[in-house]
Chain A
């Protein structure tokens, strides 16, 4: 009886062997689960980065496409009218591109635009004109290609940034693009009721009254009015200085060229614009930003009329190629320096001041290349995971991905101050610029 009591306890207990087998099995299973957990967790981190990368790459391309599609847009007055046959006899191309007539000195026009690198009287650019002139093509758009040390044709220094690895500098080896267009949602239609023109009795405009009609923006206030007006119809446009008094705008004889007469617009869909604010200058460049965690990454900056705004982070490289049709109807993709250096153009504005930079007005399509990274370094990545292909890097000609540190790359992440251990993907888009009328 007394012996029989503990016996069941002894039978159910563990012997040393049992304990060791149990521990071994337990360890094996835990090790399996832990390794599964670790691999799932790192896969999850990679997945998150890939998802962010995809999303931001898509967004960057979408925003770039939206602006590039509008490049050189000028209400309806940049239509080229009747086209003439090209020398190849197959294609027809406009012989000229309409441009607004400017009645203010060159310096006043430049001052109304942001990020101007084509300065009157420097290099091949003409001296500031002293009489009314057609707005030159070199103000329409300009790209800049950069190596890690220099930029061609010039270093534009948007927002006074220079190329360096430190935060708030420009990312070394990345392109910059400045384009301009007339905001399609802006302007006041001269309908005779809300907005009207008063003639001076000698065939010129005495004053304009601007008011807000259906679907139109608010009338500028004295604080934000830019000082220049653009009076446009579908055939021509005139840019002149005007003083503001309430909602009445009077051509400013002290700024405009002496003897300027502003022609009343034709009856064909006339509209008036606040030129300085409505003609937008958009500059895209990459800025080095800190993640406050000891690392830097590139941010795509969209600079509108001199005000920077950050669109997405994680962009390392940005490159553009410009598709231009020459006088023989052949389309080629050129670098910024090639476009800039061409002075023989298939079409120009009427009575051009100069042929310098005329090809910027004839850009028909723009090819964009963007290299995105995952932003957060992943030190678990293998060499295969880190390899990537980027357009223009000679080591990738056979589309074989090479390491970030491959010396054949035009720009290596290490030259930009970025960590190698990140996922990288290239995004590309070809955008048609519809505002060039072939």
Chain B
């Protein structure tokens, strides 16, 4: 009995072992394709989702890239415009000082004789680099009509540097047909009127980015005279 019982128990135990074994065997053997199929189905959803995600990501990245490029272009343009308007402001401000006869203190060079032009002036006017122009020492820093506006401060535009202006004397104004008298303008009382002086103003300015440089020049005629360094 006991043997039989033990045998039975053993059998049960064996059976259990077999079943366990069969189960394990099922995992490794016969039902495996079934498990694999289930796995493949899950993978397909994953892969399809990943493909769509990838496509959308590529599009998003290219769109972002384009937007970022646009932003950089616009940033550069804004900086260039800031430089342009700073140069224009410096020119207008200097003209205003000449017009109001408050030009004292502006660096001015006599450039009326092309054979005798200060080398600093040539460097300032012809160099492509702002720093070289600045280091030539020919220009005056332009800080507004009152001379106290710092354009590098955020509230005043936050430019990379204040603009430089160079004033050059080019000669006296004469009647158009190259007469030797002073200007005899059609609106004035004839020859020999008060002399008018011709000045050239060159302004070099930087934008908010020091790589954007603008140079503008203008010729201005005024009855007021500024003392200019003979070259």
Q: Which A residues fall within an 8 A CB radius of B?
A: 1, 4-6, 8-9, 12-13, 26, 30, 33, 36-37, 40-41, 44, 47-48, 51, 54-55, 58, 62, 76, 79-84, 95-96, 98-99, 101, 184, 189-193, 214-215, 233-236, 263, 266-271, 350, 434
Contact = CB atoms under 8 A, between A and B. Distances in A.
Contacts of B66: 47-48, 51
A62 to B, nearest CB: 8
29 contacts: A6-B31, A9-B30, A9-B31, A9-B34, A33-B52, A37-B55, A37-B56, A40-B60, A44-B63, A47-B67, A51-B67, A54-B70, A79-B220, A79-B221, A80-B221, A81-B183, A81-B185, A82-B173, A82-B187, A82-B196, A96-B185, A184-B217, A191-B114, A192-B114, A192-B115, A234-B171, A269-B112, A269-B171, A350-B177
A370 B111 CA distance: 42
Given A1-B18, A269-B114, A235 B26 contact: no
Given A8-B31, A268-B198, 20 more contacts: A1-B18, A6-B31, A12-B35, A37-B55, A44-B59, A44-B62, A55-B70, A76-B200, A82-B193, A84-B188, A95-B186, A99-B176, A184-B217, A190-B115, A214-B126, A233-B178, A234-B219, A235-B174, A267-B112, A268-B171
A193 B115 contact: yes
Contacts of B172: 268
Interface in B167-197: 170-178, 183, 185-188, 193, 196
B77 interface: yes
Interface string B26-58: 100011001100100000010011001001100
Nearest to B15: A1
A4 B30 CA distance: 12
A-B residue pairs, 6 tightest by C-beta: A268-B171, A84-B187, A215-B126, A189-B114, A191-B114, A76-B219
Contacts of A84: 185-188
Chain A residues touching B, majority SS: loop
B73 interface: yes
Interface string B3-36: 0000000000000001100110010001100110
A83 B172 CA distance: 15
Contacts of B55: 37
Chain B residues touching A, majority SS: mixed
Contacts of B45: 26
A233 B171 contact: yes
Nearest to A97: B176
Interface string B76-113: 01000000000000000000000000000000000111
A191 B56 contact: no
A96 B22 CA distance: 113
Contacts of A236: 174, 176-178
B156 to A, nearest CB: 23
Nearest to A52: B66
B125 interface: yes
B176 A270 contact: no
Contacts of B187: 82-84, 95
Contacts of B114: 189-192, 269-271
Contacts of A6: 30-31
Nearest to A54: B70
Given A12-B34, A101-B177, A1 B19 contact: yes
Contact of A266 (B73, B115, B174, B221): B174
A287 B185 CA distance: 46
Contacts of B188: 82, 84
Contacts of A99: 176
A260 to B, nearest CB: 14
B122 interface: yes
B218 interface: yes
A430 to B, nearest CB: 14
Nearest to B58: A44
